[in-house]
């Protein structure tokens, strides 16, 4: 820094160095960056890329097909976070399945699904477990509760994911990551320190205007030095060790597995599945689901958007064939999705 104290905003606005690609991997960051108008103050040489940080967006088409099959063919009651209902599957979304008689309940916590199963012992209740380290502990807690209560009518359709291997898979797409503060609040910072050794740079980032601007300014300043780095810019919430009880719980109930990410394909060790001791609660095993490979609309660019290879507005469906009211790709469904954020905050208006 110079002698005078320079604000993060000034550092960002005055940046005139080489082209810099900064990827945020949290849906809430995507949303806040738009809401605060940060893209408007960032110079052209800085490219802000919205990565695969929205749990709904990275859920593959085949997963929706599995949920549709569970509801329509097996007659299960599907309990899910609301956003997932409108994500298109190969043939239909859960919303369409509902119009054909499927029972789909919106829940706000996996525990609600367990309680529903307890109150309705005659119904087969399946919770759609999507989400990262932030939501996986709640799913694990639900499984433990169901086991303690001896429930035989509750299962989950698992698609929980973890971020570390996704960063490695995406390391050539960005010069630095804005790490999702709430994921780090659970997982801690050790994983990101490990990534520094692999040449991956990033800053753990909070969600207020000043936290986001500070994180961007830190990335700008440290990239100039040319060495991989990690800085925790969200220390009021993120501790190096993370949330140990939540980690223990996840570790007790789930174990790593390979997982398919929409647009990115299979990433080794980036998923979570139930451990053998809890496999009774796995809907795929319980109902003997066949392996389903989904097919997305070939014109949809969600996959490239998630990797930062193109902007949402570069997709020819954007804003015409694909809108938040009639989404084609998952990134347009969720409020946290980058296509939805581009569309809602006026795409071109924000650049």
Partner 1 sequence: MDKIVTLAHGAGGKQTSELINRIFKAHFSNPDLTADDAAVLPVEAGNIAFTTDGFIVSPYEFPGGNIGKLSICGTVNDLSCMGAKPLYLSCAFVIEEGFPMEKLEQIAVSMEKTAKEAGVRIVAGDTKVAGKGQVDNIFITTTGIGHIMEGVNTSGKLAQPGDAVIVTGDIGRHGCTILLSRDEFGIDAEITSDCAPLWGITEKMFETTKEIHVIRDATRGGVGTVLYEIAEQSNVGIRLDTEKIPVAGEVSGVCGMLGLEPLYLACEGRLVVFVPKEIAPAVIEALHGSPYSKNAAIIGEVISDMPGKVVMKTAIGSQTLLPQPGGELLPRIC
Instruction: Out of 108, 119, 122, 226, name the contact with partner 1 by CB under 8 A.
Output: 108
Instruction: Out of 10, 14, 40, 309, name the contact with partner 1 by CB under 8 A.
Output: 40
Under the binding rule (CB under 8 A), the answer on residue 122 touching partner 1 is: no
Contact 327, 296 (CB under 8 A): no
Which tokens hold the place of 262? 């929409």
Under the binding rule (CB under 8 A), the answer on residue 82 touching partner 1 is: yes
Instruction: Out of 92, 96, 209, 292, name the contact with partner 1 by CB under 8 A.
Output: 209
Q: Which stretch binds partner 1 (CB under 8 A): 44-52, 146-154, 218-226, 336-344?
A: 336-344
**Minimum distance, C-beta of residue 113 to partner 1, in the bound complex (Å):** 13
Under the binding rule (CB under 8 A), the answer on residue 35 touching partner 1 is: yes
Which tokens hold the place of 113? 């699904």
Distance between CA atoms of residues 207 and 213, nearest Å: 10
Count of residues of this chain found to bind partner 1 when the rule CB under 8 A is applied: 42
Contact 329, 323 (CB under 8 A): no
Under the binding rule (CB under 8 A), the answer on residue 135 touching partner 1 is: yes
Q: Which stretch binds partner 1 (CB under 8 A): 132-140, 142-150, 191-199, 243-251?
A: 132-140
Q: Which stretch binds partner 1 (CB under 8 A): 125-133, 168-176, 234-242, 309-317?
A: 125-133
Closest CA to 306 of 281, 337, 333: 337
Q: Which stretch binds partner 1 (CB under 8 A): 37-45, 214-222, 228-236, 299-307?
A: 37-45
Under the binding rule (CB under 8 A), the answer on residue 194 touching partner 1 is: no
> Please, how many CA atoms are within 13 Å of residue 208, restricted to the half-sphere of its CB?
6
Under the binding rule (CB under 8 A), the answer on residue 44 touching partner 1 is: no
Instruction: Out of 36, 103, 237, 289, name the contact with partner 1 by CB under 8 A.
Output: 36
Q: Which stretch binds partner 1 (CB under 8 A): 43-51, 79-87, 118-126, 149-157?
A: 79-87
Under the binding rule (CB under 8 A), the answer on residue 350 touching partner 1 is: yes
Distance between CA atoms of residues 309 and 32, nearest Å: 21
When computed from its CA atoms, the radius of gyration of the chain, rounded to whole angstroms, is 21
**Contact set with partner 1 (CB under 8 A):** 9, 26-28, 31, 34-38, 40-41, 53-56, 81-83, 86, 108-109, 112, 130-132, 134-135, 180, 182, 209, 213, 324-325, 335-336, 341, 344-346, 349-350
């Amino acid at each position: 820094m110079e002698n005078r104290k320079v604000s993060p905003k000034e550092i960002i606005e005055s940046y005139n160095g080489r082209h810099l690609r900064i990827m945020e991997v949290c849906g809430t960051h995507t949303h806040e960056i738009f809401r605060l108008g940060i893209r408007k103050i960032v110079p052209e040489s800085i490219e802000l890329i919205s990565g695969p940080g929205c749990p709904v967006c990275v859920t593959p088409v085949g997963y929706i097909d599995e949920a549709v099959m569970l509801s329509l063919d097996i007659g299960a009651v599907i309990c899910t976070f609301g956003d997932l209902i409108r994500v298109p599957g190969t043939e239909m979304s859960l919303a369409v399945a509902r119009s054909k008689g499927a029972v789909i309940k919106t829940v706000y916590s996996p525990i609600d699904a367990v309680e529903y199963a307890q109150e309705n012992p005659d119904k087969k209740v399946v919770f759609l477990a999507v989400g990262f380290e932030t939501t996986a502990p709640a799913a694990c807690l639900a499984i433990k509760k169901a086991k303690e209560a001896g429930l035989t009518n509750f299962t989950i359709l698992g698609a929980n994911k973890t971020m570390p291997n996704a960063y490695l898979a995406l390391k050539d797409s960005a010069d630095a990551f804005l790490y999702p503060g709430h994921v780090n609040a659970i997982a801690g910072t050790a994983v990101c320190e490990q990534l520094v050794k692999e040449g991956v740079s990033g800053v753990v980032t909070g969600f207020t205007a000043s936290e986001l601007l500070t994180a961007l300014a830190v990335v700008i300043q440290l990239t100039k030095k040319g060495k991989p780095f990690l800085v925790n810019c969200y220390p009021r919430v993120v501790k190096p060790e993370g949330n140990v009880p939540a980690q223990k719980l996840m570790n007790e109930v789930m174990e790593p597995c390979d997982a398919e990410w929409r647009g990115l394909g299979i990433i080794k060790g980036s998923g979570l599945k139930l451990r053998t001791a809890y496999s009774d609660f796995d809907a795929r095993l319980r109902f003997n689901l066949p392996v389903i490979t989904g097919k997305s609309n070939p014109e949809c660019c969600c996959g490239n958007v998630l990797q930062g290879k193109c902007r949402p507005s570069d997709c020819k469906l954007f804003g015409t064939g694909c809108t938040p009211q009639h989404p084609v790709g998952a990134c347009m469904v969720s409020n946290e999705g980058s296509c939805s954020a581009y569309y809602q905050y006026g795409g071109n208006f924000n650049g």
